[in-house]
Structure 1
Amino acid sequence: MRQIITRRAGVLPAPDPVLLADAALAPDDAHDRFAAQVPALNAVEHRPAEEMWPVGPQLRVAAWNAERLKYHAPSAALLRATGADVVLLTEADIGMARSGNRHTVRDLAEALGMGWAYGVEFVELGLGDARECEWHADEDNRCGLHGNAILSRHKLLDPVVIPLDAGGTWFAGRSGNQRRLGGRMAMAARLDAPRPLWLVAAHLESHSDAADRARQGERLVAAIDRLVPAGAGVVLGGDFNTKEALGSLEAPEEPLFAVLRDAGFDWHRCNAPGPTQRTRPDGTPVPPFAKLDWLFTRHADAEAPATIAAVDETGAAISDHDVVAATVLTGLAVERQQTASIEA
């Protein structure tokens, strides 16, 4: 199993294009040799906001699988409208032809007035999935990075990447023609706040089954327990690919939920019922839809959950996942009341 990644960089280096070309043609058992030669797979890109806000008694948290984050202006408008202080972001590109060869996380964070911590999940050795290969056949990737991020208007401390598998699944042809270096992961960071609060953005495997997702959940919980002091608050969110969860909050048909429940996480107060998938303009995916995207809290209360349609001003989908959001109560209001009572 890969180790937690703690090394930080202001900017992740672009992989060597010759190395990536060689990796694309290498045998299936060569993954680890090539992945070890890509520094971006072993660091966190961490950039603070120009103006950082103090954490208050309430924190609006949104989690969104932005599906490459291809649509900059509509994505910024969507997240701005949620009122989010923190965004747990999955599926964001850096230097991919399919998303305009932009640094999509930087562009979004700057538009929202936020800082960010970004980790690479995959280095793409091609243009993407079958649709993207067709749409961008005459283009090239500048970097080929694809990963997850935490965006915040508050200061982020101690950002790390938590690997959720051994890596190499997508390199060995499990997903058809979309060959990649890397593996599933979660981003974690601590908010600079008087009461400890950790944020985790997770993305579980899509080409998998419920038992494997539960195993990834166990690895995630074990890493969180290593990183987070006992009693500290945790907000966990992202795309859990829970294909057997059709929208009910009471008894989702996935063993992953038993893993998280036994680890002290709650999902009832921070999620609205119903599916979170959406059909894209190309007509995929099609119903029936599942609830893939979730928020979970531990040692932190939540309220006002919502699922927000990921569409632009014309109603066209900008991702095949909707946004999930909730208000997390940081406990600062109670703490201040107690302090005021003592001083009185």
Structure 2
Amino acid sequence: MAGTERIAVCTFNLHGKRENDETRFDKIAWKLARFRPDLCALQEVIVDNGRSTAENLAELLEAKTGERYYDHFVETHLFYGKYPEGVAVLSRHPFINRWAVDLNDILIPPLLPRKAAIVEVGIEGKPIVFASVHLDHHENLLVRKFQVERLLEALERLNSKNAAIILAGDFNDTEDSPALELLRERGFIDAYRALNDDSGYTFPAKEPKMRIDYIFVKGLQVLSARRILTDPGLSDHFGVYAEVGVKK
């Protein structure tokens, strides 16, 4: 589209730590490299031997694309009580700002501590705020709504430049939930649903029955959206990919 810069964004739940991680992450990187993502949200990122799997994936993408990838990891809790786990952002663009936003100060405590990894980057001279989230899996739907409220409060405080916003990740919620309804009320567009009317299921990867992984945008045009990384050997989630447009 004339006068529009296409931004490639994705989200993927890495499914923690597994025995075949060296081979698994190499396959993930090869598949992601095809899309040359500008921004990617990652969940269930693990730290082992002082390095996060986000950092490892950034290096693999660099090797396969020839481009620098920056990573921002935010620890949230321990994976099986041993390995630090959290959320992360990968970016082809240097970070202008980086934040960790606490999502735990809510009326109903989450089952696990949760935070959002948020960055600001500049693309075509325009500021973009991008957040990676992994909302709680509590059976009470209000927990995730409260977490979205905290996230939106933080974004209002941090987004001093009135930048376009992209929220991506594992929301642990279906599209008719209070949490996602709140996002729509605040002007966020579900990128996949904007262009697709099929189920769009993303979980579980072997027999998908739910759509819980999303890319939401505000102040950007959705140009394309699809599921990616659909091989069940890569994760228990599918990834989601979208191209969004920012005016040059």
- TM superposition score normalised by structure 1: 0.61
Tell me the equivalent position of 1:304.
224
| SS of residue paired to 2:99 | strand
Are positions 1:198 and 2:198 aligned together? Answer: no
Q: Which residue of 1 aligns with 2:240?
A: 324
Structure 1 counterpart of 2:5, one-letter code:
P
2:178 aligns with: 255
Identity %: 26
CA–CA distance in structure 1, aligned partners of residues 212 and 233 of structure 2: 17
Deviation at residue 78 of structure 1 after TM alignment: 2.3
Amino acid at match of 1:276: T
Correspondence 1:269 to 2:194: yes
The Cα offsets for residues 135-167 of structure 1, whole Å up to 9 and x where unpaired, read as xxxxxxxxx211111101111121111111149
Structure 2 vs 1, CA of residues 110 and 208 (structure 1 numbering), >3 Å: closer, same or farther?
Answer: same
Flag structure 1 segments of 5+ consecutive residues without an equivalent.
Answer: 1-55, 128-143, 175-181, 246-251, 281-285, 333-344
Q: Which secondary structure does the structure 2 equivalent of 1:68 belong to?
A: coil
The correspondence for 1:207, drawn from 134, 138, 145, is 138
Alignment of 1:1-344 (within 5 A): 57-68=5-16, 70=21, 71-95=24-48, 103-113=52-62, 114-124=69-79, 126-127=81-82, 144-166=83-105, 183-193=113-123, 194-229=125-160, 231-242=162-173, 245=174, 252-267=175-190, 268-269=193-194, 273=198, 274-279=200-205, 289-311=209-231, 316-332=232-248
The structure, 1 or 2, with the larger RCO (C-alpha pairs under 8 Å, 6+ apart) is 2
- Higher strand proportion (structure 1 or 2): 2
Assess, with a 3 A threshold, how the Cα gap between structure 1 residues 257 and 124 changes in structure 2: closer, same or farther. closer
- Aligned-pair distance for 1:324? 0.4
Say how many residue pairs are matched.
229
Q: Tell me the CA shift for residue 125 of structure 1.
A: 6.1
> Structure 1 residues 279 and 305 mapped into 2: Cα distance closer, same or farther (>3 Å)?
closer
| Kept in 1: contact 2:127–2:161 (CA 8 A) | no
Q: What letter corresponds to residue 298 of structure 1 in structure 2?
A: K
In the alignment, the residues of structure 2 paired with residue 322 and residue 230 of structure 1 have an alpha-carbon distance, to the nearest angstrom, of 33
AA partner of residue 106 (structure 1): E
Mean CA deviation greater in 60-69 or 263-272? 263-272
Give distance in 2, aligned partners of 1:153 and 1:272: 31
Structure 2 SS opposite 1:196:
strand
Change (3 A) 1:102 1:308: same
| Aligned CA-pair RMSD | 2.5
Q: Which amino acid aligns with 1:204?
A: L
Give the whole-Å Cα distance in 1 for the aligned partners of 2:197 and 2:114.
26
* Deviation at residue 325 of structure 1 after TM alignment: 0.8
TM-score (norm 2): 0.83
Separation in structure 2 between the aligned mates of residue 72 and residue 307 of structure 1, nearest angstrom: 18
Residues 197-231 of structure 1 show CA distances to partners (whole Å, capped at 9, x for unaligned) of 11111110013322211111111111111111364
Gaps of 5+ in 2: 63-68
Verify the 8 A CA contact 1:60 1:327 in the aligned structure 2: yes
Which amino acid letter does the alignment assign opposite residue 265 of structure 1?
F
Structure whose alpha-carbon radius of gyration is higher:
1
Task: Report the Cα offset of residue 307 of structure 1.
Answer: 0.6
User: Matched residue of 1:305: which SS?
Assistant: strand
SS of structure 2 residue aligned to 1:112: helix
Name the CA distance, whole Å, in 1 between partners of 2:228 and 2:167.
Answer: 18
Query: Using the alignment, how far apart are the partners of 1:270 and 1:183 within structure 2?
Result: 33
- Aligned equivalents of 1:270 and 1:118: distance in 2? 31
